[in-house]
Amino acid sequence: MATSPATPSDLSNRSLRTLTSQELNVAETLLGDAWNILLSRVPSVSTRLDATPVDAVFRALVIQIQCAMVLRVLNNPEGKLEEAGDDYRYRLDAAVSTGALYLSDSEAGLLSAGDASSDTAFTIKPAGFIDRTWESQWLTVGSRYL
């Protein structure tokens, strides 16, 4: 099984500010947590990273998504959505404001694109559905079921 491809230096390269040493220490743990969340939602990621030859674009995408997950926490550790006082008002994007480490549905979709299991459609059968595909193999033209 592949290990987490993202490193704290990947994270600091994607941050808009210089991360403190304490943030980098926490970031290493959070990157591991993000990797675990990522694997639990999209288990095929590990298999695709272990493949030979390694798909460099997919690896870069995994690193990008792991860093985005962690930066959501580091940019807003308190989970504030809005802050106001007298004539001052500051509001964060709702996606950033949770302050939680999570994999969004769109990120999971990006990671699972190309999987054999995720590229097919599914069918919902109505209640009482009876699969009669076998009958066409055995029934003749004069059969009462045709």
Strands (E), the chain: 82-85, 88-91
pTM above 0.75, yes or no: no
Q: How far apart are CA 124 and CA 112, in angstroms?
A: 21
Residue 96 is encoded by which pair of tokens?
């950033």
Per-residue pLDDT tens over the stretch 32-70: 999 999 999 998 888 888 887 878 889 999 999 999 999
Interval 70-80 mean pLDDT = 76
**Could you state, in order of their start, the residue ranges of all structural domains in the chain?**
8-120
Nearest to 101 by CA among 35, 15, 4: 35
- pLDDT for 30: 92
Asked whether residue 120 carries a pLDDT value surpassing 60, the answer given is no
Whether residue 89 is predicted with pLDDT greater than 90 in this model: the reply is no
6's tokens = 């993202």
What are phi and psi for residue 143, nearest 5 degrees?
-70, 145
